[in-house]
Amino acid sequence: MDVIPSLRCLRAVAAVADRGSVLGAAETLNLSQPAVSRAIRDLEKTLGLTLFERHHSGMLCTEVGALVAHRYRRVLHQFARAERQLAQLQLDGHFQRLNQRLSQRHLKVLVTLAETHNERQAARCLALTQPTISASLRDLEGRLATPLFLRTQRGLIATPCGTLLTRHTKVALRELALLQDDLAAWRGEAQGRVVIGALPLTSSLLVPRAVDELLREHPGLVVTVHEGTYDVLFEALRSGEIDVLVGVLHRIDPEEEMTQKVLMHDRLAAVARPWHPLMDHPNLTLARILHRKWKKRLKIGYNSRA
């Protein structure tokens, strides 16, 4: 979505979907009924869709409204996770009700500064002036009562708070982008973008074959494959920059809210060249071969955002 809906609109849609009425949503959000109704109308106009069926007894999601509400809940969930994790870090600042403290501009400025490390470059990327970028960052840091970036000779470097908040903001923005894929599928159109991270063991055969099969079934998709180390690709997965990571499975903290699936199990096998010294021992024991160096075949799978 080129225009990011306000977080107030997101909260209004999710609350009406959950409570089944504008009155119930207004009570949940501590807003007036006209404010909630206006937020719903504005978003329906922007999307060109009817999200709710109006009845005397309340409001029910339309089919497409349920898709939109589902994505918006996932967006808001990212800010709830950020609040929880920031509290665990025991940092100074005001991190409660992040989805009420942040604006559309805050989200864009935060992510762009984290990527460019420079206010002037961020201003060019967002087609804004540098004073506007500076003012937006000051306003955001003032609302949170904590610095998000340190100014160094190398440019702006995110603080622990800035790093964590940027990560969840990127995932939230990715959820909004995926909504467009949801709407296309609802219209019967197969389009969208899939970004795959591939570790070296999978990038030469497994991933290319899977991509070929996927594109045969859905030729409208745009698939991008990034190769790299596990640490780099896993951080990209956490930030929503890639959708799936294919490679050797690792233990993942449940807090990451990712799913893992085993694609194959490779058996361990010891392979020796002809006339290897160990070939002269018909009854080899583990103790005898432990001091030898062997190449190990590993379990291959993928993990992705839940």
Q: How much is the pTM?
A: 0.78
In order of their start, the domains of the chain are 7-167 (1.10.10.10), 190-306 (3.40.190.10)
CA dihedral sign of residues 195, 196, 200, 202: negative
Pairing state of beta strands 155-158 and 221-227? unpaired
CA distance 272 to 19: 67
| H or E element that contains 224 | strand 221-227
**81, 240, 82, 256: which is closest to 174 by C-alpha?**
240
CA distance 192 to 215: 12
Give the model confidence (pLDDT) of 93-127 as tens digits: 889 999 888 888 999 999 999 999 999 999 999 99
Q: Assign 285 a pLDDT band (cuts: 50, 70, 90).
A: confident
Is the confidence at residue 14, as pLDDT, over 60? Answer: yes
Give the tokens for residue 8. Answer: 């107030």
118-122, Cβ contacts within 8 angstroms, sequence gap of 24 or more: 118/155, 118/156, 119/156
